[in-house]
Structure 1
């Protein structure tokens, strides 16, 4: 069986790397013949620092499905069209928005110098911060602040792009249309019902909808409608995740 894991808030917490406790449990899955895949809102660049290097050649889905890395090489990238980027930048100006924008590797940032998201942006210094017009292509846009954020979200939704509003962080997360984690999984040949998914947020909904079994970490109202079960956040959340992995792996072996 294939096991697909979101990262932040699912198997790593508070911006810290995935712990050895979880990594060891993932290796047990692999030793029993299962495949481990990572699927995150982070670009591939920012997935690497939270995973030990022994996992860097695993299949990784980044940017909510806009990027795929296999065996350490970028194999798929889906970008916004030029017209979409022009429209997005016009709205950024109109609403005096700040942003984090990701190309296939480098990024652009205009947000506050103390914004918490900076803790997760290129912590390993693998990329460069460049002006928005220096990207050959753009795969992900995160609006950090804006005048009338709700109104801006409505205007962005008219551009035929995927917009997730993370209310707890009050940010807008944009990807090209028809780009989501399930789309990336299917692009690399994974069929419906062929995997078990772990996630915690709205951008995991597509992945949960097509999984044979899905485990929500913590609680998210929209995601809960598609989760097979959940694990509550707490000091023992990692222990519970390890136990659940062992249980699910044992079921697959029967």
Structure 2
């Protein structure tokens, strides 16, 4: 077993293994370390851009393979190796929607960002906590990679306009936001760029943007009661202890001791 990765374990972050925007707890970190000691590989796949994904991880895990921005950012060994931006035409169309409805927004470039939302919104607290980027004006962002809109009372009208565009949309009702990625970009797309193959990984997630990887996973674990649980093979409560118990069980199940069994 030494030197060989038995199974890849892929984790969403917010609401899956870290809660209320806080960094990974010591207990979760220990469970991930135990998973790796059994020979498995750990990969993170988040809606956050890499810039905002890194601060919630212990330094020892910041060079693990990562998918950020729902697939728009790909990182390995501490380096961002690929970034997918919107086409110029689609970026301009999104700008027009923002202007037409006077919407607050979070717009990410390759590293810097533009933000016009409320500082009281939970998402604001997760933006660049390490102060590694610059907050710039929207017109100063040349390549737009990821967009979060705060539609307020205009949700239906905003979705109607966005659905006309070649983009990937995720509506997060609990936060009243709409998450937009370039067409064809999702977490599974990002994982495939890291060399992950269908049926050869375990996925943990809790929201609609995890559906693409759930559908390709050997086992998929929905944390909490989101509708995406219908695409998962397993479900646990949205509680750290329950997630750790499931992770421990699956780590052991796919360890070298039983790797050759029909499971």
Pairwise TM-score range, normalised by the shorter structure: over 0.9
- Supply the distance in 1 between the matched residues of 2:16 and 2:164 (Cα, whole angstroms): 31
- Which residue does 1:224 correspond to in 2? 229
TM-score, length-scaled by structure 1? 0.96
Provide the secondary structure at the position in 1 that maps to 2:117: coil
Unmatched runs of 5 consecutive residues or more in structure 1: none
- Which residue does 1:240 correspond to in 2? 242
Work out which of the residue numbers 109, 115, 118 in structure 2 matches 1:109. 115
- Supply the distance in 1 between the matched residues of 2:220 and 2:58 (Cα, whole angstroms): 24
Summarize the alignment of residues 27-176 of structure 1 with structure 2, pairs less than 5 Å apart: 27-146=33-152, 148-176=154-182
Q: Is the Cα contact below 8 Å between 1:5 and 1:199 reproduced in 2?
A: yes
TM-score, length-scaled by structure 2? 0.93
- Supply the distance in 2 between the matched residues of 1:86 and 1:146 (Cα, whole angstroms): 21
- Ranges of 4+ aligned residues in structure 1 off by more than 4 Å: none
- Supply the distance in 2 between the matched residues of 1:109 and 1:172 (Cα, whole angstroms): 14
Q: Is the Cα contact below 8 Å between 2:151 and 2:177 reproduced in 1?
A: yes
User: 1:201-252 CA deviation, whole Å, 9 max, x = no partner?
Assistant: 000000100000011111111x11111111112xxx2222222112111111
Q: Is the Cα contact below 8 Å between 2:203 and 2:214 reproduced in 1?
A: yes
Which deviates the most, 243-252 or 41-50? 243-252
Provide the secondary structure at the position in 1 that maps to 2:254: helix
Count of aligned pairs between the two proteins: 250
Matched, 1:2 2:8: yes
- Supply the distance in 1 between the matched residues of 2:21 and 2:153 (Cα, whole angstroms): 27
User: 1:164-220 CA deviation, whole Å, 9 max, x = no partner?
Assistant: 111121111000000000001112211100100000000000010000001111111
Provide the secondary structure at the position in 2 that maps to 1:198: strand
Unmatched runs of 5 consecutive residues or more in structure 2: 1-6, 259-263
How far 1:147 sits from its partner (Å)? Answer: 5.2
